[in-house]
Amino acid sequence: MKDLKYHFFMAATPEVVWQALISPEGTKQIYYGSVIKSTFQVGDLLEYVGPGVDGDETVHVYGNVLDYEPNRLLRFTHYPGKSYLKDGHALESRISYHLEPIGSCTKLTLIHDEWKEGDSSYKNSEMAWWMILSNTKTLVETGSTLDFDESLSF
């Protein structure tokens, strides 16, 4: 499986983009009601929790923090939540957010890699990242997110 890699340029500082990616307020808007929960200490748990099949506290994705450099880098392992797949650890992959100042803008590079062969979440991730990253760009530049058609599903 090939790595998923995306570059987005945003009219905002790395600090503003960073807050959208790691604050509960930002992730709730970007990830359709899910908030990020973590101490952001290397080795500690990271979860995206929000409304879903298990109620308001559905764990959609979880993993462990691998690298954390404020306003620059967040890297973590990625597993599907247990309500979606009982043995999510069999489908480990890795997500990296890299932020780089470019003039008065920020270049956000997202890399989703280290996929296991046959990972059933690959196709959904490949489609969903475009929407998530577009939402991130729109949020940091305008203060609101995009209104995607609710019938759109992965």
- CATH number for the domain spanning 107: value is 3.30.530.20
Q: Which of 57-71, 72-86, 140-154 has the lowest mean pLDDT?
A: 140-154
The answer to whether position 149 is within a domain reads no
The answer to whether position 110 is within a domain reads yes
Instruction: Give per-residue pLDDT as tens, 117-129.
Output: 988 889 989 999 9
What pLDDT is attached to residue 114? 97
The answer to whether position 153 is within a domain reads no
The count of domains in the chain is 1
How far apart (Å, rounded) are the C-alpha atoms in residues 36 and 19? Answer: 11
DSSP strand E in 25-147: where?
35-38, 45-52, 55-69, 73-80, 93-102, 105-113
pTM given for the model: 0.90
The answer to whether position 35 is within a domain reads yes
The answer to whether position 83 is within a domain reads yes
Give the range of the structural domain holding residue 78, as residue numbers without chain letter.
4-142
What pLDDT is attached to residue 154? 42
The answer to whether position 147 is within a domain reads no
The answer to whether position 36 is within a domain reads yes
List the one residue out of 12, 21, 8, 6 whose CA is nearest residue 104.
12
